[in-house]
């Protein structure tokens, strides 16, 4: 008997030991039918915004190397939606988020050394670009997983709690793809 191929966003669950689900005997290991179940619940994030210690690695990457973790989440969320990776998406995302991120640090160093006040405006522009990219990603993830929220909330989260928002999005997508976190 051939078993159907299971595609994301569903995972296979084995029947409980000694019992069988409705649908008859057989299935996996002779214990009953295979049940399909969502990997993450629809309608809410898999964990809270400040549940940073659920995955220390994701939190560390989101705080220290934000562009890398953001680009990885972009790539993985595309894979979860389309069931296939997109060539070059990680690199493109890394450049789009990483260049403004690096420029903010570089411009702050130059501003400290020269005192050129107009560099503050370039730093703000780079920060606004990062907030916009984060908002766009969070909105797409909310639509993809049926999560309630607003663009204003997404803006505030990426403006004031960027590391926590990037980490929460990463944990949610990784759980959906059954990637150990």
Tally helices (H) and strands (E) across the chain.
Answer: 6, 2
pLDDT at 71: 95
Residue 115: how many CB atoms within 10 A of its CB?
Answer: 8
State residue 178 phi and psi, 5-degree precision.
60, 35
**pLDDT at position 19:** 42
| CA 177 distance to own-chain centroid | 10
pLDDT at 41: 66
Q: What is the pLDDT of residue 84?
A: 78
Give every residue of the chain whose pLDDT is below 70, as ranges: 1-41, 181
Residue 138: per-residue pLDDT: 96
At residue 28, the pLDDT reads 42
Q: Are 90 and 71 in contact (CB under 8 A)?
A: yes
pLDDT digits (tens, 9 = 90+) for 47-61: 888 888 888 899 999
97-127 pLDDT tens trace: 999 999 998 988 888 888 888 888 998 999 9
């Amino acid at each position: 008997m051939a078993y159907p191929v299971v595609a994301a966003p569903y995972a296979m669950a084995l029947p409980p030991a000694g019992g069988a689900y409705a649908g008859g005997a057989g299935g996996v290991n002779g214990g009953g039918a295979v049940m399909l179940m969502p990997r993450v619940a629809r309608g809410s994030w898999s964990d809270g915004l400040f549940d940073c210690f659920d995955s220390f690695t994701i939190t560390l990457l989101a705080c220290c190397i934000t562009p890398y973790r953001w680009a990885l989440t972009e790539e993985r969320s595309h894979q979860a939606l389309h069931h296939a990776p997109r060539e070059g998406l990680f690199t493109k995302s890394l450049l789009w988020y990483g260049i403004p991120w690096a420029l903010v640090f570089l411009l702050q160093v130059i501003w400290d050394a020269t005192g050129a006040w107009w560099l503050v405006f370039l730093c703000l522009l780079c920060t606004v670009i990062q907030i916009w990219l984060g908002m766009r990603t969070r909105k797409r993830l909310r639509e993809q997983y049926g999560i309630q929220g607003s663009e204003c909330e997404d803006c505030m989260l990426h403006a004031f709690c960027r590391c926590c928002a990037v980490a929460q999005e990463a944990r949610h997508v990784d759980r959906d793809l059954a990637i150990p976190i």
